[in-house]
Amino acid sequence: MRMRFTSTCLISIALLLVSGSCQNEVHLEKPFAEAETTEAIVIPGEGAVFKGKVLSRGNSQITQHGFMWSPNQSMSHTDLVLQNAEFVMLGPLNDDTEITFHATSAISNNVVCNVRLFLITNELISLGNIISFTGNGSLPPEIYSIEPSSAAAGDTVTITGVNFAFRKLSNKVSINSYLCDIVSSDGENIEFKVPAIGDGLFKIDLEVGGIQALQKADFEITKPVCTGFEPATGTFGDIITLYGENLSLADDSFVKVYFNSEKATVIEKTRTYYKAIVPNKLNANPVRISINIGNPYYFSQDFELKQPVISDITPREARNGSNIVITGQNFNPDPSFNILTIGGERAEVISSTSNEIRARVPFSLAAGTYNITISTIAGHVIQSPVTLKVNSPWKRLSDFPGGPRTAIACFTISGKGYVGTGLRPDGIEASDFWEYDPSIDQWKRIADFPSAIRYATGFEAEGMGFLTNGKTSGIYRKELTRYNPATDIWEERAPRPGEGSSMDAPGFVINGKAYLPASYQMYEYTPSTNTWLEKSFPPALGYFGSGAAFTINGKGYYGIGYIAETDSNTGDFYEYDPISDTWTKKARFPGILRNSCTSFSLPNGKGYVGLGYSILNGTYLKDMWEYDPEKDAWTQMADFPGAARICGEPFVIGSAAYIATGFNLSFQSDLWEFNPDSYK
């Protein structure tokens, strides 16, 4: 019996290499082992006989010796260690000095090979000189026995016989043409892993050095039997014990346990049971459990996944976008597999464990009290025994009495809102104007604007209302008209200089002066002198319009709209300093890029941008965002509860903004109050 060999047995040997050559000189005993390869005798069809001798035994015991051969002309110790060459291990060397071995396998026909003797001690590998020979074939391998003759997939089985190769890659074991993984070989024994190809009776084929064995051996892969499991019900992460017979002990590359189509983690294996963890990515009852070892083997009964149970919600009163915690049982630890709704709206699940879910209240919910539902199993929805009260900053008020329209103009004077002009559904531009009193939620008509117009820009200064820009029948307007609420009269003022704009061009007021950007320019208007002065404009915006504009603490803010040169929306946002007449780029708008949005600022020191139209998505929008200039940061607020739209024009009274009319393929006439102070 020859010594079994694997490549790892030489890794720890000191890689001091001693090479010998055939010499006629007298060899004195040296402190290290020294080998000489003396002869290679080719035996036609039966391999070759290799001979060598020990020139010096050295000071250390020779723990292993043998021959290595290969077409490689410069075989080194690395080829032996990594099994890049054929080899034979003959075991420890006693007192012998002459070494002979008949290699009956892995000698190819008509292939020139090189052979050398090697000696191994604890310190080094000593290689003899190289002798070349031309092979003339090998003996076919013979199988004497298979032990065991039946085994489960993944088990290790031993083939015993003759004419096997020591080099693992030179031996090929296959079962029904499926190539098996070879664990080790020592020339007379080959260990291999049983492949996962099903169960039943098979034939084992063996090939060594390209030569087929004279016969095939019978072999049986045993059939696993699934007898039952416990417990019969459970939840995600539970450990289920699966009982059976002839279960494989192979690793997870061979043995797979499935709950429906989801792979489970197996934490323990024996021949009679497995322990598996109920997978998180499981969302259907009933659950069929199977063990897959080449073929699936099913359990006769089904496993039942427990339904979730909601016990409480904290807090029970919350605002849009805030987080709530839902406690209970049988939640899925994978957040994406918990389908949570609040008032029928899908809520974002931020994190989850088996007994706690952290979720975000949808921005789309209006104020009200809502049921909460959860589903972890398809087709089964569980409702919470407690409800959630949602606070919203939105409230609907009396509709605009002028009827549905868009592209209106607005301003505020002394706690009352003024709304008018715009485009009606019949395509006719309007001139009527209306006053809104929030204290009684009522409208009354005032003097009409002197001409019909749409997309006019409205603002208030020195207790008066002003309108400029806009267009009538395709003609761009630059007139400036002032409204006096005391006399209910409109009167012309100095017209806005520069070019007109084809787009809605909102402005802002700082310290009683109005700043009106349009196209590539911005002009400052001083009401006390009725004069205009050109100011700087952000060059990156180009021909810009349909954007956002508001004032906070003596600074103007502008951007988030449409750039004509690129035919695209932008999220760029700028701060204007009227003292230095300079623009500073601020935090980019994080929401969907849009034009024709709604924008305003409130006394709380925050600005707001929402609604509008996305060119990229081709959709009307209803989200609302808050800008904090101190933090230079955006925060999403509760969605606008009305229909998504463009040109929802705002006016501000006290701590609230009022948004009127708009368009979303239909003309709108509704009025909504937005007051973030109503949040808790």
- Using DSSP, state whether 594 is helix, strand or coil: coil
Report the alpha-carbon distance of residue 192 to residue 34 in Å, rounded: 36
Closest among 607, 640, 636 to 621, alpha carbons compared: 640
- Check: CB of residue 551 under 8 Å from CB of residue 503: no
Closest among 206, 192, 179, 3 to 87, alpha carbons compared: 3
- Using DSSP, state whether 644 is helix, strand or coil: coil
Strand pairing class (356-360; 368-370): unpaired
Is the residue at 649 inside a domain? yes
pLDDT, mean of residues 60-87:
91
CATH of the domain at 660: 2.120.10.80
Strand pairing class (607-610; 598-601): antiparallel
Structure tokens at 314: 């904290």
Report the alpha-carbon distance of residue 431 to residue 421 in Å, rounded: 4
- Check: CB of residue 123 under 8 Å from CB of residue 77: no
Structure tokens at 502: 């084809």
Give residue 29's pLDDT: 56
pLDDT, mean of residues 28-43:
87
pLDDT, mean of residues 220-233:
95
Give residue 402's pLDDT: 97
Report the alpha-carbon distance of residue 570 to residue 408 in Å, rounded: 23
Q: Has residue 28 got a pLDDT over 70? A: no
- Check: CB of residue 476 under 8 Å from CB of residue 501: yes
Report the alpha-carbon distance of residue 226 to residue 317 in Å, rounded: 51
Q: What is the DSSP-derived secondary structure letter of residue 9?
A: G
- Cβ burial 209-236 (10 Å sphere, 16+ → b, else e): bebebeeebebebbebebeebeeeebbb
Dmax of the chain from CA atoms? 132
Q: How would residue 196 be classed by pLDDT, with cut points 50, 70 and 90? A: confident
Strand pairing class (304-305; 233-234): parallel
Angle, vertex CA 430, rays to CA 425 and CA 433, nearest 5: 120
Q: What is the DSSP-derived secondary structure letter of residue 506?
A: -
Give residue 678's pLDDT: 74
Is the residue at 466 inside a domain? yes
- Check: CB of residue 320 under 8 Å from CB of residue 640: no
Report the alpha-carbon distance of residue 164 to residue 387 in Å, rounded: 76
Express each pLDDT in 100-126 by its tens digit: 999 999 999 999 999 999 999 988 899
Give residue 294's pLDDT: 83
Report the alpha-carbon distance of residue 435 to residue 267 in Å, rounded: 74
Please say which residue of 174, 198, 221 terminates a domain.
221
Give residue 582's pLDDT: 97
Q: How would residue 13 be classed by pLDDT, with cut points 50, 70 and 90? A: very low
Residue 307 region, left (φ>0) first, then alpha (ψ -120 to 50), else beta? Answer: beta
Express each pLDDT in 254-266 by its tens digit: 899 999 999 999 9
Is the residue at 1 inside a domain? no
H or E element at residue 433: strand 433-437
Report the alpha-carbon distance of residue 647 to residue 638 in Å, rounded: 19
Q: What is the DSSP-derived secondary structure letter of residue 216?
A: -
Report the alpha-carbon distance of residue 22 to residue 110 in Å, rounded: 26
- Using DSSP, state whether 8 is helix, strand or coil: helix
pLDDT, mean of residues 43-50:
96
pLDDT, mean of residues 132-151:
95
Q: How would residue 177 be classed by pLDDT, with cut points 50, 70 and 90? A: confident
Provide the percentage of residues in the chain whose pLDDT is more than 70: 95
Report the alpha-carbon distance of residue 575 to residue 551 in Å, rounded: 9
- Using DSSP, state whether 150 is helix, strand or coil: strand
- Check: CB of residue 588 under 8 Å from CB of residue 641: no
Q: Has residue 367 got a pLDDT over 90? A: no
Q: In terms of C-beta density within 10 A (0-12 exposed, 13-18 middle, 19 or more buried), how is residue 545 classed?
A: buried
Of 16-20, 126-130, 271-275, the least confident: 16-20
Q: How would residue 141 be classed by pLDDT, with cut points 50, 70 and 90? A: very high
Count of CB atoms situated within 10 Å of the CB of 17: 13
Is the residue at 262 inside a domain? yes
Count of CB atoms situated within 10 Å of the CB of 300: 8
**155 and 90, same structural domain?**
no
Express each pLDDT in 398-457 by its tens digit: 999 999 999 999 999 999 999 999 999 999 999 999 999 999 999 999 999 999 999 999
**576 and 465, same structural domain?**
yes
Q: What is the DSSP-derived secondary structure letter of residue 463?
A: T
**368 and 257, same structural domain?**
no
Please say which residue of 328, 360, 391 terminates a domain.
391
**635 and 610, same structural domain?**
yes
Is the residue at 130 inside a domain? yes
Give residue 680's pLDDT: 52
**471 and 544, same structural domain?**
yes
Q: Has residue 21 got a pLDDT over 60? A: no
- Which of 562-571's residues contact partners 24+ apart within 8 Å by CB, and which partners? 562/503, 562/595, 562/596, 562/615, 564/503, 566/542, 567/615, 568/593, 568/615, 568/616, 569/593, 569/594, 569/595, 569/614, 569/615, 569/616, 570/541, 570/544
Structure tokens at 31: 């402190």
Residue reference for tokens 């073929």: 295
Report the alpha-carbon distance of residue 208 to residue 607 in Å, rounded: 80
User: What DSSP string runs through 74-134?
Assistant: T--HHHHHTT-SEEEE-----S--EEEEEE-SS--TT-EEEEEEEEE-SSEEEE---EEEE
Q: Has residue 16 got a pLDDT over 50? A: no
Q: In terms of C-beta density within 10 A (0-12 exposed, 13-18 middle, 19 or more buried), how is residue 543 classed?
A: middle
Q: In terms of C-beta density within 10 A (0-12 exposed, 13-18 middle, 19 or more buried), how is residue 167 classed?
A: buried
pLDDT, mean of residues 572-590:
98
Question: For the chain, what is the mean pLDDT?
Answer: 92
Is the residue at 2 inside a domain? no
Report the alpha-carbon distance of residue 26 to residue 81 in Å, rounded: 31
Of 419-428, 467-476, 548-557, the least confident: 467-476
Radius of gyration of the chain (CA): 44
Express each pLDDT in 322-355 by its tens digit: 999 999 999 999 999 999 999 999 999 999 999 9
Closest among 126, 112, 129 to 52, alpha carbons compared: 129
Give residue 641's pLDDT: 92
Domains identified in the chain, total number: 5
**596 and 485, same structural domain?**
yes
Specify the pTM: 0.69
Is the residue at 431 inside a domain? yes
- Beta strands across the sheet bearing 582-585: 548-552, 555-559, 573-577, 582-585
**150 and 40, same structural domain?**
no
Report the alpha-carbon distance of residue 67 to residue 162 in Å, rounded: 18
Q: How would residue 40 be classed by pLDDT, with cut points 50, 70 and 90? A: very high
Domain holding 235, by residue range, is 225-305
**638 and 565, same structural domain?**
yes
**633 and 491, same structural domain?**
yes
Report the alpha-carbon distance of residue 257 to residue 262 in Å, rounded: 8
- Using DSSP, state whether 597 is helix, strand or coil: coil
- Using DSSP, state whether 349 is helix, strand or coil: strand
Structure tokens at 442: 């009522």
Q: What is the DSSP-derived secondary structure letter of residue 70?
A: E
CATH of the domain at 118: 2.60.40.10
Could you give phi then psi for residue 454, rounded to 5 degrees? -130, 160
Report the alpha-carbon distance of residue 168 to residue 52 in Å, rounded: 25
Is the residue at 333 inside a domain? yes
Give residue 179's pLDDT: 95
- Check: CB of residue 647 under 8 Å from CB of residue 406: yes
**522 and 438, same structural domain?**
yes
Of 224-233, 248-257, 663-672, the least confident: 248-257
**107 and 178, same structural domain?**
no
Count of CB atoms situated within 10 Å of the CB of 616: 10
Amino acid at 596: S
**661 and 584, same structural domain?**
yes
Please say which residue of 253, 279, 305 terminates a domain.
305
